[in-house]
Structures are given as C-alpha cells and as structure tokens.
Structure 1
C-alpha cells in the first residue's frame, strides 16, 4: 500500500511540475507583444536544426542592414566596372 501511495505521489508531482514548466500565460503574452518569434534552421550539410529566436526589432534591423550591404556591394561593383 505504501508503494502505491509513493508511486502516485511521484507521478502527480511530476505531472504538476511539467504543467508549471509550460511557457504560457503572462510571459507568452509579453513575448507576443514584442514580436518574439523562434524558428528552426538547418545548416548546410547538417540535419540537426538550430533554434533561432528574435524580436521584431532585431528582424527589422537585420533587414535594413542587409539592404544597406546589398546597396553598398552594388555601388562598389558599379564604380569598379567603370574603370
């Protein structure tokens, strides 16, 4: 009888801990407000995905930097081809 009680106690505490560790509620709403998003990306030659998380602000900054880099690369190519 004590063994059954112990098993039931361990199972219920494990279940409650698993429910508590779920990322929901206020923290999920806070992440959604900031535009927080995660995606899994596989590197070339690898089947192991890496998780990449960013906020909307970080994604916007990366997009603007990519546009600037592309514009600068095109400008350098145009200047060098004119010589």
Structure 2
C-alpha cells in the first residue's frame, strides 16, 4: 500500500510537501514563474493547500516548528499552548 499523506518534515520548507495548484510543480520542487524562472516566494495557492492538508492530517491545534539543527518537527499541541 502506498502512503499518499504528505510529509511536512521532509523538505527545506513544509509547503513543499504538496503539489502547487498554480504552477503544477511536484512536491519537493520550488514554484516557477510563467517565464520558467524560480519564484522568489511559494505560490499563495500552494500555501493554502498545504495549510488545508496539514490541518486535515494533524488537527487545528498542531504546528510545525523549525529545529535548531535544521529540519522540522510537528507538535500536535503547538497552537493550543499559545
């Protein structure tokens, strides 16, 4: 069985865990401008899709935190502490 759930800790930026609905770039690949150049920011649609899927997977109170040594960790209670 294939695991289709995005891994938000696997990439340089958590938003890269999902395909971009605006430019079509696959998970793990940075967004591109229509000219083909690398976008300076990830597309808003990709950010929104990543937020939606992250909440579906981990719940509304979860957060993702950058580790001091690099990488990411998901805290299931992150937002509930704020």
* TM-score bin, normalised by smaller chain: under 0.3
Normalised by the size of structure 2, how large is the TM-score?
0.27
Q: Which protein has the bigger strand share?
A: 1
Q: Which has the higher contact order (CA 8 A, sep 6+)?
A: 2
Which structure would you say has the larger Rg?
A: 1
